[in-house]
Chain A
Amino acid sequence: MIEAVAIGAVAGGTSILLPTLGEVVSERSGVINLGTEGSMLAGALAAYIVGIQTGNPWIGIVAGLAAGAALAMVHAFFVLVRGANQIATGLVVTFLGLGLTAMFGQDYVGQGVVALENVPIPGLSQLPFVGPVLFDHDPITYLSLLAVPALWWFLARTKAGLRLRAAGERPQVLRTFGTNERTVRALAVTAGGALAGLGGAQLATAFTRNWSEGMTVGRGFVAVGLVIFAAWDPRKALIGAYLFSGAIALQLQLQAQGSDISRYLLSALPYLVVIVSLAALSRRRVNAAPEALDHVFEHAS
């Protein structure tokens, strides 16, 4: 039971973790992107269609990444070039993604895709508990696990990461060094969209092997919420994403075991678990918010 829940946490968590990491990158540079849900859908559909057309799931994955990035660039354009309100633009981008994917995806509903299969890691996948939980997944899941320390290192230890954080905290400092914060933010938003697109691609071509209209069902918005509870830290984003997905796995396992707990309470479980655990985990989360994000809400009012 514990092992089954842990496997479900990782297997189902990838499509939540990747957009959460993407949102961390975007928000660390000072831009909130509520278009994440749209980027995920664009990534899911692009990976599905290109995967079917080329017969190669990897080309599909790249297409998913690019589609997620492309939609995020729409957000970046209106927010950074036109100075539009971030919250409103993000929502519009999400609805744009929903509408466009519903339209272009119509002919692909229920069609077979060349799935990205699980690749058990030789040796490690044989280990008790850890093996099936961590080392028997699709390649994108491994990639997302590696992305967490990589992103943390990038943000905390590299010059480029420092510039990104500066854009989100003290853009005027960045300007004195001759770097335009808008360029940094545009790159960060685009990269964030690419990660969301990758998450959508994994959901469609590896985890569910399916395309249907609106198939992300709010995972992009869950990611935006998780960023706040993870205090903009990629490592806590991992915990948040796996807790959320683990709680989904737990509630479904409990249902299958014929548990007496109310069905309504069980379906609320993922949200409750994440709110309670991460609230306890990150007491200082309010201070952790990139300062530039404050302006978003000042302008919004």
Chain B
Amino acid sequence: MKPTRLALAAGMSVLALGAAACSSSSETSTGGTTGGSGDESDLTIGFLYVGPKDDYGYNQAAYEGSQAVQAAFPNAKILQAENVPETAEAETVMEDMIEQGADIIFPTSYGHLEFAQNVAKDHPDTIFVHQGGLEGEDKLDNLGTYFGTVYEPVYTAGVAAGEATESNKLGYVYAFPIPQTLANINAFALGAQSVNPDAEVIAVSTGSWCDPGLQAQAAKSLIDQGADVLTQHQDCTKTIIEAAEAAGAMSVGYHFDASDLAPNGWITGSEWNWGPLYTDIVQTVVDGKFVDSPYNGDFRVGLQTGDNPFVQSSYGSMVSAETQAKIDEIKQSFIDGGSPFAGPVLKQDGTIVWESGQQPTYEEVETMDFFVEGVTGKID
């Protein structure tokens, strides 16, 4: 073997080992040994994550949801698989889980859906519930999707930010103008404008879900423009929160409660709380009621229809009791049938999207492709 090949082979085998170590599925716990109802003792539930389960973000939130399921069903066997790529490897991981007796599988990443659908067709006795996708043409009796309405707590955080700002400029760092991000930015702007008509949201794109170097520069450019509140839709959130705090600006978090990073400037934020929804899905399956339940379709839940798994983080000290009461009122209005996008909603150029009295469906929000009036930024 030539030295060149040797070096390559050595490097590749190290990589292969690493990859193997990363994406192997493991059984964490079989829970309590005695007690609990007999019919759940042979219950096996598998969870797939696209990243590490401790990423302080999306995957960690899903992992914590699985721990809530374990707490609710102490005798259930929970299978965990981290770093499962959105490729055919996901099918292998799911087949492996079924071999280990999985009754329910939660593929939690957007790109796991088609692989879950493939496996679901071959295994009609296993229930698949996918996080964030839409089923499309293939309606299977053993598969469904679920998601929360991300933009509701973002709207109420916008209300708090609109009250807190003195410069009336709110900075928003985002990755790409995908519908979910646009819905967040627009909800934040509409929330701020609902209490502060002069509030302007400046949206800056880094073109990356996590490039801390660009985030630091983006935060700086927003502060230079006079923004005194910074928020974001990024996978790694620490840099922007720290940059805001260092510059004496305030921050609104995303994905997890970062109030300890910004003791002076923390307003509030939005974070996931999957536990109750996961547990209810599992209960539905255990009761044998999955087929034709709302979970056997594209299930979307917001305050209007139940408990939104996307919740508001703790408040910082500058949020007055009065503002908190106002936000509670707004949440109640959502529960009573309102929406952050209740008309009139206007696009950046002033054209009307939803008239007064109108409000979009979940699907219309999930296909949003514009900025609302009061947002500075360019989509293309």
A residues near B (Cβ < 8 Å) are 4, 7-8, 11-12, 15, 78, 82-85, 88-89, 92-93, 95-96, 99-100, 103, 106-107, 109-110, 112, 115, 203-204, 207-210, 212-217, 219, 245, 248-249, 252-253, 255-264, 267
Contacts and interface: CB of A to CB of B under 8 A. Distances in A.
A149 B177 CA distance: 43
B212 A212 contact: yes
Contact of A219 (B19, B54, B213): B213
A267 B256 CA distance: 28
B380 interface: yes
A209 B236 contact: no
A112 B217 CA distance: 20
B18 to A, nearest CB: 4
B378 A260 contact: yes
Contact of B217 (A12, A204, A264): A12
A8 B220 contact: yes
Given A215-B212, A249-B221, A263 B7 contact: no
Interface stretch (B98-106, B200-208, B304-312, B328-336): B200-208
B242 interface: yes
User: Which residue of A103, A115, A252, A267 has the most chain B CB atoms within 10 A of its CB atom?
Assistant: A252
Interface in B202-234: 202-208, 210-218, 220-222, 224-225, 227
B261 to A, nearest CB: 7
A286 B204 CA distance: 38
Main secondary structure of the interface of A (DSSP, over half): helix
Contact of A92 (B7, B204, B376, B379): B7
Contact of A210 (B19, B204, B239): B239
B7 A256 contact: no
B202 to A, nearest CB: 5
Contacts of B27: none
B326 interface: no
26 contacts: A78-B10, A82-B7, A84-B3, A95-B15, A99-B18, A103-B21, A106-B52, A106-B54, A110-B56, A115-B242, A204-B212, A208-B239, A210-B212, A210-B236, A212-B210, A212-B212, A212-B235, A213-B210, A217-B210, A217-B213, A249-B221, A252-B214, A252-B217, A256-B222, A263-B205, A264-B380
B14 interface: yes
Contacts of A219: 213
B233 to A, nearest CB: 15
User: Which residue of A109, A115, A260 has the most chain B CB atoms within 10 A of its CB atom?
Assistant: A109
Nearest to B255: A110
User: Which residue of B4, B205, B210, B239 has the most chain A CB atoms within 10 A of its CB atom?
Assistant: B4
Contacts of B202: 256, 258
B372 to A, nearest CB: 15
B215 A208 contact: yes
Interface in B41-68: 52, 54-56
A210 B242 contact: yes
B171 interface: yes
A118 to B, nearest CB: 9
Given A89-B11, A96-B11, A109-B236, A82 B218 contact: no
Contacts of A267: 205, 207
B6 interface: yes
A136 B242 CA distance: 18
Given A85-B7, A106-B54, A109-B52, 7 more contacts: A11-B217, A93-B11, A100-B18, A212-B212, A214-B210, A252-B204, A253-B221
Contacts of A257: 225
Nearest to A208: B212
Contacts of B225: 253, 256-257
A92 B213 contact: no
Contact of B11 (A4, A92, A210, A248): A92
Interface string B364-380: 00000000000011111
Top 4 closest pairs, chain A to chain B, by CB = A92-B11, A84-B7, A208-B212, A110-B56
